[in-house]
Structure 1
Amino acid sequence: MTSLTRRGFLAVGGVALAACTSRTPEDAAERRQALNAEIEAARQQLLGIRGAPELIAAAQGVLIIPNVRQVGFFASGAYGEGALFIGPAIVEYYSLSLASVGFTFGAAAYNQALFFMTSQALQDFRLADGWQLGAGVQVVGGEDGVSAGVTTTRINRPIQELVFGQRGLIADASFAGAKYNRIVR
């Protein structure tokens, strides 16, 4: 019988943890395919909104994040994953993480599109750390919703935001911080 040293224990534990958290290439391909299907469905819905095709044509790039899910009770959080299009091609994948504090009650899901109207705004977004500070109001009931707000992104850069496809029930009047992170899919 051999004694188990700390180093041996950590090695066995590390291998066990890696085995539990590793994903096969097939899992990654399936997740990317499912995400691409969600992005395409949101893009088709976006094309049906009056004025959106003109924004897409004028933009240097469009970030589409489908199915952003938000839940809150005074404070709230939201998360979603999507893709950055330059022309008709997906060039990068991004995640959106949002936290807010204020008057928030309920849960909702929505799609978000960011239109980068200048090449400088697109370059700044791709190189920046992604934080956005904002204040806004959102009311969603069923599939109809209204959102309004001013963010530092809108004030400082020529970036337009469109929130569409809202569903759920949430009332939100809060200060929020959002972070967009590049992810590998």
Structure 2
Amino acid sequence: MLDTFPVLRRAGLAAVTIGAAGLLFAGCTTTSPKSAATASEQRQSLSSAADATLGKLYEASPQSKDLVARAKGVLVFPDVLSGSFIVGAEHGKGVLKVGGANAGYYSTTAGSIGFQAGAQSKAMVLLFMTDEALNKFRNSSGWTVGADATVAVVNIGANGRIDTNTAQQPVVGFVMNNGGLMAGVSLAGTKISKLDL
């Protein structure tokens, strides 16, 4: 009778371990409701989210509307998710608009190392202000901020106006979170790749 307790204990421990592993791996499946959406649904969803993001940008900085209108191409990532604990990672999908029409779909990834914890979401808008900058981006097989081009992240002054020096750069960027436009953000190391959607 005494010999059966270790066996039962081991069987119980094994059952708990298998159950915990099942829960862990269930949370790591690669099929999510979003990936089950058709390519057409994903394109429509990204386009709608990009329009909403631009609307929020215009509210946060009315002067940005003129800058977007002058841009040769506008790349909008409505929802870049970042999660981290010591080593961080970011990922999001976006749409490139040229002449107001959707001209391609892209993914963005970035990583960072340093003490950080938690998860957050932000939106990124990149404006290609020259034909040369837009063509270089569209013709690349993978484009990295800092290596392939410098992105001048816009600073908004106390008067709510965009810094004119920043606005004259070939590639201009805006970064927003739920609190509005983010200042002092670096996009260096952000990788952008074309998506087949």
- TM category (shorter chain) comes to 0.5 to 0.7
Partners of 1:112 and 1:181 in 2: how far apart?
15
Instruction: Indicate conservation of the 8 Å contact 2:77/2:93, yes or no.
Output: yes
Q: Map Cα deviations across residues 56-91 of structure 1 (whole Å, 9 max, x no partner).
A: 122111101101101111211011111111121111
Please tell me the root mean square deviation across aligned C-alpha atoms, in Å.
3.1
Select which of 117, 126, 140 maps to 2:129. Answer: 117
Q: Which region of structure 1 is more displaced relative to structure 2, 78-87 or 37-46? A: 37-46
Match of 1:126 in 2: 138
Contact 1:133–1:176 (CA under 8 A) maintained in structure 2: yes
Selected match of 1:90 from 97, 102, 106: 102
Instruction: Tell which structure's C-alpha radius of gyration is larger.
Output: 2
SS at 1:153 equivalent: coil
Q: Could you state the TM-score of these two structures normalised by the residue count of structure 2?
A: 0.62
The answer to whether the 8 Å contact 1:59/1:117 transfers is yes
How far apart are the structure 2 equivalents of 1:71 and 1:26?
23
Residue 43, structure 1, aligned to residue 54, structure 2: yes
Q: Percent identity?
A: 32
Distance 1:181 1:29 in 2: 19
Give the distance between the partners of 2:96 and 2:187, measured in 1 at CA. Answer: 26
Preserved contact between residue 116 and residue 160 of structure 1 (Cα < 8 Å): yes
Partner Cα separation in structure 2 for residue 133 and residue 107 of structure 1: 24
Could you say which residue in structure 2 is the equivalent of 1:29? 40
Q: What is the Cα deviation at residue 175 of structure 1?
A: 9.1
Amino acid at match of 1:29: S
Letter in 2 for 1:66: P
Deviation at 1:164, TM superposition (A): 1.3
Unaligned 5+ residue runs, structure 1? Answer: 1-20, 135-150, 168-172
CA gap 1:47/1:77 in 2 versus in 1, 3 angstroms: same
CA distances 1:12-38 after superposition (whole Å, capped 9, x unpaired): xxxxxxxxx8xxx97222222222221
User: Partner of 2:62: helix, strand, or coil?
Assistant: coil
Deviation at 1:99, TM superposition (A): 1.1
Q: What is the identity, as a one-letter code, of the residue corresponding to 1:161? A: G
